[in-house]
Amino acid sequence: MRKSAILALNSIKHLIRYIPALLVLLALPMLVHGQAREAVLNKADTMDKYLPETKLAERVTIRSIVVTGNKVTRRAILLREISVHEGDTLTLDSISLLLNQNKLRLVNLSLFNDIDMKIVRITRTQVDWQISVKERWYILPSFSFELADRNFNVWYSQQHHDLSRANIGLTLSDNNFRGNLENLSATVQVGYTRKLGLSYDIPYINKKQTSGLGFVISIARSRQTYYATDSNKLQYVNGSNNTDILQQVEAGISYIYRPGYAVRHIFTLTYKDYTIGDTIARLNPDYFTNGSTHTRLLDLQYRFEINEVDNWNYPLYGFKLVGYAVSRIGFEGIRFQNFLNVETGVFHSPLPGWYFSAIFRGRLVVPEQQPYYFRGGLGTTTDYVRGYEYYVIDGSQYGLLRLDLKRELFNRTYKGIPIQYLTSIPLRIYPKIFADAGFIKSGAPGANSFLDNRLLYSIGVGLDVVTLYDFKIRLELAYNHLGRNGLYLHTNSE
């Protein structure tokens, strides 16, 4: 019986190696037929609505593209996203698909509460493409309440819902600065971690709208932080006499190249300067290298994205691939580190109202042995096997697979609200079943981990709620291989 279990485990491990190739094969039909399915699932407008009694093979020319409702957003920003241009010649049977496709493209800008897109026939061979939008509230003096812990369940159960472990912040941001999709943001945060931050993202700096720049600078200080992992639990320590025990200073610049709608290349250079208290270095000399209390480094990152999903905030069909390679050059507290992270996802609708997704995430690090602070692993904000939210598993190399099957239970938009930037409230609800599997390779000494170097898996049921301003809630009941179950709450993406 034991030999059979070992053989089964080895077979599963071998299967995981082929997951990326399998995902690519699953994605190929989506790349070819994804947009056609998109039109069907969204009940695409028929040509009879716009151009009755016409032959589908007939061709028309777009005389002009008319944009209304964009009081702040510049017209060029909208035209950059859509796939049609003034002067284009189209067949009539393609227009219904293009209307739905381009509406979704504008949805992904996250600039508008409502978007209406239609065509109006001017002559037998000419049409006008009309876009009507209702803008969101872009200047957001928003208050934030964030937990210092990795997720709600850890804060509520393990930290006894201690409100002193919360961060309260005020962020003044303009998500559409100058109407150019630029993001200018300043943050002041108090509580568990005190923070000051300033960022400015410029998506387009050239006439072709293919290049952009980003800038960020921040300083954060904490009176408590974790210094080690023991038995897959984080160990915390406080600064003496209520002093700061961790300080983080970062400044970075990014160059963004976006040659097309779905593809982006991002090059980022960041200088990082971290200081810890003597207590941390004494409790864990491996926190930085050689028991150091200070680390300084340059972080060089290249990020590549292909995002062919329908909705970037909550995808239901399409394909995405995100990979980034990082080289860290240390001046103090770390020598060097190279790592590669990959995420790929396939989203499919096998039947109307039913949605299946497969997401794979993986990481490789060279050299494998790193200081504790830079080690990483499973159990972070996004990289965890569902059902293991209470555990942290240190390690440099890991793979994670998530499978979901969900059903659209409710999809409605409440309109007619007499508030300028809140004219409608969308509400979508998706019950689901899911299964996760993950494996992490760890050689960290003295961690007493019982979850590394073994297959982790779980199954469960859940409920996703998606509403205004891209806000989402995931409520999931998971059962893991340890025979333990739990109800978990998340507000991030899968």
pLDDT digits (tens, 9 = 90+) for 386-438: 999 888 898 889 999 999 999 999 999 888 777 766 777 889 999 999 999 99
Answer for the pair 241, 298: CB distance below 8 angstroms, yes or no: no
The model's confidence at residue 306, banded by pLDDT at 50, 70 and 90, is: very high
Q: What is the mean pLDDT of the chain?
A: 83
Beta-strand runs (E) in 371-423: 377-378, 393-394, 397-407, 410-415
Q: Give the Cα separation of 35 and 349 in Å (integer).
A: 12
Cβ pair 239, 245 in contact under 8 A: yes
CA 390 to chain centre: 21
| 92 φ, ψ (degrees, to nearest 5) | -65, -35
| Cβ proximity of 193 and 222 under 8 Å | yes
The runs of H, that is alpha helices, within 143-202 are: 152-153
Q: How far apart are CA 89 and CA 63, in angstroms?
A: 9
Domains of the chain are 42-135 (3.10.20.310), 203-490 (2.40.160.50)
As a whole-number percent, the residues of the chain with pLDDT over 70 amount to: 80
**Residue 257, C-beta contacts closer than 8 angstroms, at least 6 positions apart:** 210, 211, 212, 264, 265, 266, 267
Torsion sign (Cα): 158, 164, 165, 170: positive
CB 103 within 8 A of CB 109: no
Give residue 152's pLDDT. Answer: 53
Q: Which residue has the tokens 């209390």?
A: 293
Sign of CA pseudo-dihedral 55, 60, 64, 69: positive
Stretch 329-336: mean pLDDT, rounded?
A: 93
Cis peptide before 352 (omega within 30 of 0): no
Concatenated DSSP letters of 215-243: EEEEEEEESEEEEEEETTEEEEEEPGGG-
Helix (H) or strand (E) holding 25: helix 19-41
344: helix, strand or coil: strand
Res. 80: pLDDT tops 60: yes
Paired with 196 in beta bridges are 188, 219
Beta strand pairing call for 126-135 and 139-147: unpaired
Enter the tokens of residue 253.
């610049």
Q: Residue type for 243, please?
A: T
Highest mean pLDDT among 267-276, 411-420, 443-452: 267-276
pLDDT of residue 22: 40
Which residue has tokens 């659209």? 408
pLDDT band (50, 70, 90) for residue 30: very low
Question: First and final CA of the chain: distance in angstroms?
Answer: 36
3-state DSSP assignment of residue 64 = strand
Distance CA 404, CA 410 (A): 18
Quick one: average pLDDT of 279-299? 94
At residue 35, what is the residue type? Q
212 DSSP β-pair partners: 256
CA–CA separation, 98 and 89 (whole Å): 13
Quote the pLDDT of residue 43: 41
Q: What is the pTM of this model?
A: 0.80
By the 8 A CB rule, do 489 and 475 touch? yes
Please write the tens of the pLDDT for every residue from 45-64: 444 444 544 555 689 999 99
Say if residues 292 and 332 touch (Cβ distance below 8 Å).
yes
Both tokens of 384, joined, read 């965890």
Would the pLDDT of 102 be above 60? yes
Of how many residues is the chain composed?
A: 494
Percent of the chain with pLDDT over 90: 56
Distance of CA 290 to the CA centre of its chain: 35
Give the pLDDT band of residue 34 (cuts 50, 70, 90). very low
Q: How far apart (Å, rounded) are the C-alpha atoms in residues 273 and 285?
A: 18
Helix (H, G, I), strand (E, B) or coil at 442: coil
pLDDT surpassing 50 at residue 185:
yes
Query: Which one is predicted more confidently, 471 or 315?
Result: 315
Strands 126-135 and 59-68: parallel
CA–CA dist 494, 478 (Å, integer): 14
User: Is 436 in contact with 386 (CB distance < 8 Å)?
Assistant: yes
Residue-wise pLDDT tens digits, 133-172: 999 887 765 555 555 444 555 555 655 555 555 556 667 7
